[in-house]
Amino acid sequence: MTQEPQDDQSRPISRWAPPSDVPPAGQSSPDDLVDDERDTAEVPLPGMPRPAVAPVPAADTAPLPPLVPPPPPGGSLPGFDAPPASPPPSSPTRTDSSPRRRIPGPIWALAAAVAFLLGVLGGYAGGVLEDQDDMSSLAGGGLDPGSIETDAPLEGDDASIVKVAATLLPSTVQIFAEYQGVEDAATGSGFVFDRNGHVVTNNHVVADAAKAKGSIEVVDHKGRRYKADVIGRSAVYDLAVLNVPEVKELEPASLGSTSRLRIGEGVVAIGSPLGLSSTVTSGIVSALQRPVSTGQTEDDTSYINAVQTDAAINPGNSGGPLVNLVGQVIGVNSAIATAGGGEGGEGGSIGVGFAIPIDQVKVTAAQILKTGKATYPIVGASVDVQAVDHNGALISVVEAGSPAAAGGLKDGDRVTKVGDVTVTDGIGMIVAIRAHQPGETVEFTVMRNGARHELKIKLEAQTENLA
């Protein structure tokens, strides 16, 4: 048996605990929220954004990648440390020495205008084709392409936060779930995923209710309440899909693509922070492919290849949509970083929030809708998640007969790259692996005895079996 990652209690991380007394929908008050365990930094209430944290959890080794759900109420979250995003490739340098004709100003201006127009149309067409290809590739996996909306509801030159809010609020819901036997004790957010009555939210919003077969209800923007059932959930990716037949009358949110996001792009977070339904905040994409680990035990830890944003995300926003300025969902709000540690530490948004990329949401939702379960990729190795030298991920144990062993990975290897993603530590490696799908063959760059090696490892599928 390999050792699972444990929590580092010294890290300034937090999640929110559910309130002990929960007022009716629409009347929640921040004063009603209490911490489940005040010896940890703030903790997202089930259904509230789980604070994600500072770098590195505290176990010696962690199975790579381990089966770990998001942090439970009252637990602290291990940290994260992300490699900087790879710089875009530089423009090719012209090498020919032949003289160039000078283009007259008016002609050049016309050519530039035409090129710009073609670029805009080409970008839009490329985006549409990419979305269509993405949906068709998932069609056999549980998604009904006819029930999914991918077209941007707003034009780029007509976009505004006001219009984004008006478009997405009718597709966003508040969620109330039973927690430790108390109805409506866990609150969060979600959004209408398709026209078949399915709602997407975070696993940690409904996990306790799902285990106990407790009640779950969703509330739309007009205050109407609907009964919901869990179709399936993933602790690994912190996602859950609910069946809410009565929301078929609600317009589904349009699903975008994380692959086209740019750092600095404007985004809007929608949800029910602190029980305040239909709340809208805005900001920018602060970073992409940010490795974030949340949770404290094997049963409640998730690793997210997150979209980082400075849009205010607070307890209750968990599961709600992060939206671009043309009205497409590009992420599911899931975690926040906090500045305080221990009792009396600062809670709430400090401008560092994390969302699960919508591309991963589509894949996991398709799996759940087809089989009721989610799968994730593994290599069959354990990695040191405590090392803080940022020189790569140190492999502690390679299991015999595993994909890692078949690919040539050895105990003591230091992985510095997974595919085209630079890896600086164990958590970064786990997240990079989980950004791929089972069955893919991925190149691993490793350092062994001072020499660099390129290994090809075929990822194996592991199915989550959650109650």
C-alpha dihedral (294, 295, 300, 304), degrees to nearest 10: 10
Compute the distance between CA of residue 390 and CA of residue 80 in angstroms, rounded to an integer. 12
Q: Environment class of residue 180 by beta-carbon count within 10 Å: exposed (0-12), middle (13-18) or buried (19+)?
A: middle
Catalytic residue among 318, 382, 396, 402: 318
Q: Per the structure block, which two tokens stand in for 330?
A: 């590009």
Catalytic residue among 204, 278, 334, 349: 204
Compute the distance between CA of residue 335 and CA of residue 351 in angstroms, rounded to an integer. 11
Continuous H helices in 16-144:
105-138
- Residue appearing with tokens 């921040």: 30
Buried-exposed string 137-148: b where 16+ CB fall within 10 A, e elsewhere: ebeeebbeeeeb
Active site residue 198: no
- Order of strands across the sheet that contains 198-201: 225-227, 216-219, 172-179, 182-192, 198-201, 239-243, 229-234
Active site residue 318: yes
Cα separation values, 266 from 111, 170, 261, 286, 304, Å: 30, 21, 10, 10, 21
Catalytic residue among 134, 184, 238, 310: 238
Active site residue 238: yes
Buried-exposed string 365-391: b where 16+ CB fall within 10 A, e elsewhere: bbbbbeeeebbbbbbbbbbbbbbeeee
Compute the distance between CA of residue 69 and CA of residue 294 in angstroms, rounded to an integer. 8
Query: Nearest-5° angle of CA 277, CA 374, CA 454?
Result: 115
Query: Smallest Cα–Cα separation from 194: which of 367, 72, 365?
Result: 365
Query: Smallest Cα–Cα separation from 198: which of 156, 235, 230?
Result: 230
Q: Per the structure block, which two tokens stand in for 103?
A: 């283009």
Residue 460 identity: E
Residues tagged active-site: 204, 238, 318
